Amino acid sequence: MEKKLIAPSILSANFNNLGADIKMLNESEADWIHFDVMDGIFVPNISFGIPVIDHIAQITPKPLDVHLMIVDPDKFIVPFAQAGASIITVHYEACVHLHRTVACIKEQGKKASVCLNPHSPVSLLENIITDVDMVLLMSVNPGFGGQKFIEGTYNKLTQLKHLIENKNPNCLIEVDGGVNYQTGARLFALGANVLVAGNFVFSSDSPQETIRNLKNL
């Protein structure tokens, strides 16, 4: 049976009461906690950085899924690893020497993941897929929460699943953007392993129930 993991994105959490939201996630069925790190250059938004991850790592036992939406991520892999990241995702579009970047993540003892923006084809991963632990497909244009799901993601997911089955069956597939009960059910059915949900979880009346329902899709 395929893994069905839920990684709530704290980009949508209440930063006036972040400790309480992390406590809520700790008590929920969430598998990972997802961090969208944005630099205002690679994506048109600025979010948070190493200090936030460092502090949250001290108050949660859950793996920290750190998505670096930044230029020149190589500079920051070691600091984010030291801050407590469990999984580090870099963008194919941001890495000049992707094999070197992936190797650096693994040298820190962390899981290495590569992300594709909506316009980037799955074929770009042909020569890196055997080296990564996970691929993250963006199903919205990165930079902001609450965006509408891009329908073409389903076809990309099918292509990616085929590539993984042929070359690296242990590689996980994560999808981020526009996840709800309808899109989530289809994504899991097509072979996704991890769903990132931000606005859908944190704006719901009962985030813990929403997380449980997503896991049971």
Phi, psi of 81 (to 5 degrees): -60, -45
Cβ-count burial 175-197 (b if 16+ within 10 Å, e if not): bbbbbbeebbeebbebebbbbbb
**Cβ within 8 Å of residue 23, ≥6 positions away:** 59
Catalytic residues: 36, 176
Q: Name the nearest CA neighbour of 5 among 167, 145, 184.
A: 184
Residue 119's identity, in one-letter code, is: H
User: For residues 70 and 42, is the Cβ–Cβ distance under 8 A?
Assistant: yes
